[in-house]
């Protein structure tokens, strides 16, 4: 007979799916098939223990061992075993009455544990449970309560045909899945793969050649794992355990996901060039802590061909610069919808730690294509330069006199009242007799003029 074990976690943090996934991954020690409750805010883990009970002596001993070890980790549980996932969940959530005694130290919390050895069709384990144990939709539960139906045995006493005509097929389907009349598959969950490689030295060493050779060996092992899984690394973490002191951590972020071993080796070598070892190295652990699926693109047979090597060389250059100079030293401009020009952009790293690239090199739309078709200078001065004599006929800038040939404007730019101090300006595009073009504004209502940018 098929046997399912349900672990209901009482003290799970609210909406903490990560904690539940950690429990599910740990439960792989007891069953090869583990599932997480597919509810919106799950709070239980299901294990298929059909063919593993004999390894622990009995079902009761298996439940006791699971409860003991999770108690040590700080979890408060209710456990129940039954022949269907729904019955195990219902007993763990609503129907646990028995307590396994003698397994916990005196004074510690005793966790209710039950093992339903009878068939789920038997009325004894399930009949007295509330109808909420059937995991019914809330409107059906409310309607059943209004009709005076609060327990499963009261529901089973009603004619099935009338229930279907009144509530539709969903009510009886939930009941039949719990009682085993309808199959209910276990919602299997598998932990994400860990891409990790380790190396231990036979004797602690400080030789750079040995460490670099070990590092290259680990990178190639890691790259083979990534290639087999069709994933690319976005963030690498290398942990060096030394004979003395705290372990050293080296982090490398990437602009574009890759599983190319040579590229990863080069990036790690750049970081190791300036690394000071406090003591001989005992072991090295290399892990790809952030990965994404690799993008495989087929080149067009007939189409605009990009310059040779541009797509492949630019991400590599960005990775090397970010690794050598730091990820906050290689930046790009990100546009912000702000009326005030000097606040309409800010700088962000091209390589963000463990995240996807912030731009796409193969984008077909030019930067700023979503902006209105109003000429804007590509260069803005960090601080607008005041023009004492205004722009009537000519103006002085950078030690030179510039004569105005023609101008366009004004274009008024103002900030909203909610910004505090209001900024109101009239902007002009100016072309000089030498062919240079500038962006100048006059502070309103009758303020001075300032040079703000240059058109290239």
- Mean pLDDT across the stretch 198-208? 91
Q: What is the DSSP string of 53-88?
A: GGGGSSHHHHHHHHHHHHHHTT--EEEEEESSHHHH
User: Residue 235 region, left (φ>0) first, then alpha (ψ -120 to 50), else beta?
Assistant: beta
Whole-angstrom distance, CA of residue 312 vs CA of residue 131: 60
Q: For residues 209-228, give the mean pLDDT.
A: 92
Euclidean distance between CA atoms 204 and 201, whole angstroms: 6
Q: What is the largest CA-CA distance in the chain?
A: 100
Show Cβ contacts of residue 67 under 8 Å, excluding neighbours closer than 6 positions: 77, 79, 100, 103, 111, 113
The pair of structure tokens assigned to 134 is 């059937």
- What is the rounded distance in angstroms from the CA atom of residue 143 to the CA atom of residue 149? 9
Beta bridge partners of 196: 287
- For the chain, what percent of residues have pLDDT higher than 70? 81
* pLDDT given at position 48: 92
Q: Left if phi > 0, otherwise alpha if psi is -120 to 50, otherwise beta: which for 360?
A: beta
Tokens representing 393 are 């006929």
**Residue 296's pLDDT band (cuts 50, 70, 90):** low
Q: How far apart are CA 369 and CA 363, in angstroms?
A: 11
pLDDT the model gives residue 266: 86
CB 428 within 8 A of CB 440: yes
Distance CA 374, CA 391 (A): 22
Instruction: From 113, 115, 114, 126, select the one nearest 154 (Cα to Cα).
Output: 126
CB 24 within 8 A of CB 34: yes
Tell me the torsion sign for CA atoms 72, 76, 80, 84: negative
The sign one gets for the Cα dihedral 20, 59, 98, 37 is: positive
Kindly provide the residue ranges of all beta strands, DSSP E only, lying in 37-161, ordered along the sequence.
44-48, 77-82, 113-115
Q: Which two tokens stand for residue 61?
A: 């001993």
Q: Quick check: helix, strand or coil at residue 418?
A: helix
Q: What is the pLDDT of residues 73-84, one digit of tens each?
A: 888 888 888 888
C-alpha distances (whole Å) from 408 to each of 29, 291, 431, 439 are 75, 51, 9, 10
Q: Give the span between the Cα atoms of 18 and 276, in whole angstroms.
A: 36
Per-residue pLDDT reduced to its tens digit, 431-446:
999 999 999 999 988 8
pLDDT on residue 217:
93
pLDDT band (50, 70, 90) for residue 219: very high
Query: Is residue 92 within 8 Å of residue 80, measured between CB atoms?
Result: yes
pLDDT digits (tens, 9 = 90+) for 165-182: 888 889 999 999 888 889
Of 104 and 195, the one with more pLDDT? 195
- Strands (E) across 64-223 are located at 77-82, 113-115, 195-205
Those residues whose C-beta lies under 8 Å from the C-beta of residue 42, and which sit 6 or more positions away, are 17, 20, 36
Given a cut of 60, whether residue 98 has pLDDT beyond it is no
Beta-bridge partner residues of 411:
427
And the tokens for 285?
């652990």
| Range in 42-51, 135-144, 185-194 with the lowest mean pLDDT | 185-194
Q: Using alpha carbons only, how large is the chain's radius of gyration in Å? A: 34
pTM of the model: 0.52
Residue 185 banded pLDDT, cuts 50, 70, 90: confident
Query: For residues 83 and 1, is the Cβ–Cβ distance under 8 A?
Result: yes
pLDDT tens-place string over residues 251-261: 888 878 888 89
Mean pLDDT of 237-256: 87
pLDDT value at residue 320: 67
Sheet with 4-9, strands from edge to edge, namely 34-36, 44-48, 4-9, 77-82, 113-115
Average pLDDT score, the chain: 80
Residue 274 in this model has a pLDDT that exceeds 60 = yes
Tokens, residue 360? 């796409």
DSSP labels, 237-269: EEEEEESSSSPEEEEEEEEEEE--HHHHHHHHH
Q: Please give the structure tokens belonging to residue 376.
A: 């804007």
């Amino acid at each position: 007979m098929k046997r399912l074990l349900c672990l209901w976690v009482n003290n799970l943090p609210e909406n903490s799916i990560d904690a539940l996934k950690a429990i599910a991954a740990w439960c792989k020690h007891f069953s090869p098939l583990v599932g997480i409750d597919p509810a919106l805010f799950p709070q239980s883990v299901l294990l298929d223990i059909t063919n593993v009970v004999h390894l622990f002596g009995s079902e009761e001993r298996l439940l006791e061992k699971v409860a003991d070890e999770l108690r040590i980790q700080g979890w408060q549980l209710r456990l129940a075993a039954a022949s269907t996932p729904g019955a195990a969940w219902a007993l763990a959530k609503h129907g646990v009455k028995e307590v396994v005694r003698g397994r916990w130290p005196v004074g510690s919390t005793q966790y209710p544990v039950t093992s339903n050895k009878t068939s789920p069709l038997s009325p004894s384990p399930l009949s007295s449970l509330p109808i909420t144990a059937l995991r019914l939709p809330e409107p059906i539960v409310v309607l059943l309560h209004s009709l005076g139906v609060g327990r499963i045995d009261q529901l089973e006493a009603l004619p099935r045909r009338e229930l279907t005509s009144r509530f539709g097929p969903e009510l009886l389907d939930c009941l039949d899945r719990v009682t085993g009349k309808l199959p209910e598959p276990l919602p299997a969950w598998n932990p994400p793969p860990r891409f990790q490689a380790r190396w231990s030295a036979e004797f602690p060493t400080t030789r750079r050649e040995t460490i670099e050779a070990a590092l290259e060996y680990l990178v190639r092992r890691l790259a083979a794992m990534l290639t087999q899984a069709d994933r690319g690394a976005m963030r690498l973490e290398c942990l060096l355990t030394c004979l003395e002191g705290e372990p050293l951590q080296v982090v490398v972020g990437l602009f574009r996901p890759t599983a190319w071993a040579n590229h990863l080796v080069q990036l790690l070598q750049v970081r190791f060039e300036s690394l000071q070892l406090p003591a001989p190295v005992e072991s090295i652990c290399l892990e790809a802590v952030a990965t994404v699926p690799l993008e495989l693109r087929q080149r067009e047979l007939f189409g605009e061909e990009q310059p040779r090597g541009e797509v492949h060389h630019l991400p590599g250059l960005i990775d090397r610069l970010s690794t050598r100079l730091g990820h906050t030293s290689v930046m790009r401009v990100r546009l912000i919808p702000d009326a005030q020009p000097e606040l309409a952009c800010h700088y962000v790293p091209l390589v963000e730690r463990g995240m996807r690239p912030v731009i796409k090199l193969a984008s077909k739309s030019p930067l700023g294509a979503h902006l209105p078709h109003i000429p804007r200078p590509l260069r803005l001065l960090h601080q607008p330069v005041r023009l004492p004599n205004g722009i009537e006929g000519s103006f002085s800038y950078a030690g030179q006199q510039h004569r105005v040939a023609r101008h366009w404007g004004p274009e008024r730019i103002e900030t909203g009242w909610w910004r505090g101090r209001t900024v109101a300006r009239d902007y002009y595009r100016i072309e000089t007799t030498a062919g240079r073009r500038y962006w100048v504004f006059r502070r309103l209502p009758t303020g001075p003029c300032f040079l703000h940018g240059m058109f290239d």
